Amino acid sequence: MEVKTEGIVLQTIDYKDNDKLLTLFSPTLGCVTAGIRGVKKPKARLAFSAQPFCFAEYVLAEKGGRYTVTGAYLHESFFDLRTDVLRYYGACAVAEICRVLAIENERNEGLFIACIECLKSLCLEESNSAEAVITFLLIALRESGYPMDLGYLEECDGEMGDRIWFDFSDGRFGSLERCEKGERASISTYHCLRKCAGLDFDEDKTAGGKKRALRLLRAYLFEKTETQFENLGEFIRMQEDGK
């Protein structure tokens, strides 16, 4: 059976002398493994389709639940990601998160679109890589059933003071008394998250919040998935303090 689907390469593994195994993220198929033959040979016709972050329409031959790439039509290579190490690790973090959250044979168009939009943003020199990844993470959490509730500002009528906590049990901010499994969070973290979520925020209170927001999101992801997300950790370590 032949299947046509949009897909993005999240991971590649060398297989045999000239073949590769691709981890493809499809909006309709979820994350699937697909073999691609002869792709390491000089002048291989489908070499482009076996590169990390390649976004293409893939033609897959399916037999016994296994997929083989037989054709591909390029949409975007995202080649610019390879020219900046920080943005490259941001893209690796996005791919890593999709590999964990996207389930095989389960549609997840929201996560797929968020992945593509984040990679597009990371390719733009004028974009902020930390904000791009934070925005993606917030959508990825929501699409995977772990939404982060950023409504504490409205509940407190803007009078939060400097004591705010994040509850890992239900993904919401609040006072210590309201948190079942809480951790102290900074006001800059909270306002940075609201900014990336497209909500009202105070720009003066976002200073230094991006790195803290990324750390909190990684911790929340670990709480829900028990996965370390090493590429995301490296991306966070590369962020400049106070930026």
Of the two residues 152 and 40, the one the predictor is more confident about is 40
Least confident of 112-116, 168-172, 216-220: 168-172
pLDDT score recorded for residue 16: 87
As a whole number, mean pLDDT of residues 144-165 equals: 75
Whether 162 shows a pLDDT value over 70: the answer reads: no
Give the CA distances from residue 114 to residues 41, 184, 208, 216, in Å, rounded to whole numbers and listed in that order: 33, 29, 25, 20
DSSP-derived letter for residue 239 is S
Query: Averaged over 231-242, what is the pLDDT?
Result: 87
Residue 150 near residue 164, CB atoms below 8 Å: no
Distance between CA atoms of residues 175 and 165, nearest Å: 6
The yes-or-no verdict on residue 243 having pLDDT over 50 is no
pLDDT tens-digit readout, 171-228: 988 776 665 667 888 899 999 999 999 999 999 999 999 999 999 999 999 999 999 9
CB-based contacts of 149, cutoff 8 Å, min separation 6: 170, 171, 172, 173
Per-residue model confidence (pLDDT) at position 242? 45
Q: Among 29, 38, 39, which residue's Cα sits nearest to residue 60?
A: 29
HSE toward the beta carbon, residue 157, CA cutoff 13 A: 0
- In angstroms, the CA 21 to CA 50 distance is 9
**Average pLDDT score over the chain:** 91
Q: Report how far residue 94's alpha carbon sits from residue 203's, in angstroms, rounded to the nearest whole number.
A: 26
Task: For residue 173, give the 3-state DSSP assignment.
Answer: strand
pTM for the predicted model, two decimal places: 0.93
The pLDDT of residue 148: 95
Kindly report which listed range (26-40, 152-166, 174-188) carries the lowest average pLDDT score: 152-166
Would you say 53 and 46 are in contact if contact means Cβ atoms under 8 Å apart? no
Residue 46 pLDDT more than 80? yes
